[in-house]
């Protein structure tokens, strides 16, 4: 992260990942706590949550956390998670006949920004998860005028997935930082994946160090 914390005031950070179940919600929590510790009022936005039965589990958990970190974030779960779908699938599939209104999402983001210095936006799945036929999660990063944090796992296969995701971000000219979530294949990560990653990137960031 940049040393000058004032850089992040009135900014948005989009939390994305190399794939699903990599730890975007965990990462969102880590960064919400990190920026709070640096004196910023934080906010949270999750445009889509799928697999919703009675209420959005991840969104509700994060909203409750943010309200403890920043009591002035006086918004509802429907503000934080405007699109809630029952089917646990990509938004394009889960939405069925619902039309995703991008202008509506931009207005929601603008509304949430009134209550915080820094808005953490959590994506769905990986970068190329479809929202509409010709609209993908990666496109929302620019639509929301956000910088990106790419979360990669420690499991076998992370090298390939990480490099593919980075190439896509670079192709779209999206500014990003890479963080690794040490949660899977921990016994083998040091020998199997880390040697290449440290040679390639020179320095690695881990969520667990925040």
Does 4 count as an annotated binding residue?
Answer: no
Of 114, 208, 157, which is closest to residue 18 (Cα–Cα)?
157
Does 145 count as an annotated binding residue?
Answer: no
**How far apart, in Å, are the Cα atoms of 173 and each of 109, 148, 200?**
22, 11, 20
Given 46, 95, 108, 155, the catalytic residue: 46
Does 21 count as an annotated binding residue?
Answer: yes
Does 200 count as an annotated binding residue?
Answer: no
Structure tokens at 1: 């992260």
Residue with tokens 């429907």: 78
Q: Catalytic site residue 108?
A: no
Does 58 count as an annotated binding residue?
Answer: yes
Please, where are the H alpha helices in 83-157? 91-94, 102-113, 137-143
Does 26 count as an annotated binding residue?
Answer: yes
DSSP string across 23-38 = -HHHHHHHHHHHHHHT
Does 157 count as an annotated binding residue?
Answer: no
| Binding-site residues for ATP | 21-26, 58, 122-125
Known catalytic residues are 46
> Which residue numbers belong to the known binding site?
21-26, 50, 58, 122-125
Q: Which residues are annotated as a binding site for substrate?
A: 50
């Amino acid at each position: 992260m940049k040393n000058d914390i004032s850089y992040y005031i009135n900014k948005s950070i989009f939390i994305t990942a190399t794939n699903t179940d990599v730890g975007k919600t965990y990462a969102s929590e880590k960064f919400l706590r990190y920026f709070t510790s640096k004196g910023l009022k934080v906010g949270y936005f999750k445009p889509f949550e799928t697999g919703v039965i009675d209420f959005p589990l991840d969104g509700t958990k994060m909203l409750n956390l943010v309200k403890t970190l920043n009591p002035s974030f006086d918004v509802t779960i429907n503000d934080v998670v405007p699109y809630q779908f029952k089917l646990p699938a990509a938004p394009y599939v889960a939405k069925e006949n619902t039309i995703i209104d991008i202008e509506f999402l931009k207005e929601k983001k603008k509304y949430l920004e009134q209550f915080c210095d820094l808005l953490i936006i959590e994506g769905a799945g990986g970068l190329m998860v479809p929202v509409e036929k010709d609209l993908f999660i990666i496109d929302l990063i620019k639509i929301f005028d956000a910088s990106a944090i790419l979360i990669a796992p420690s499991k076998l296969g992370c090298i390939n997935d990480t490099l593919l995701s980075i190439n896509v971000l670079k192709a779209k000219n999206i500014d990003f930082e890479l963080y690794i979530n040490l949660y899977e294949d921990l016994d083998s990560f040091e020998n199997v994946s880390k040697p290449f990653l440290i040679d390639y990137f020179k320095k690695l960031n881990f969520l667990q160090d925040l």
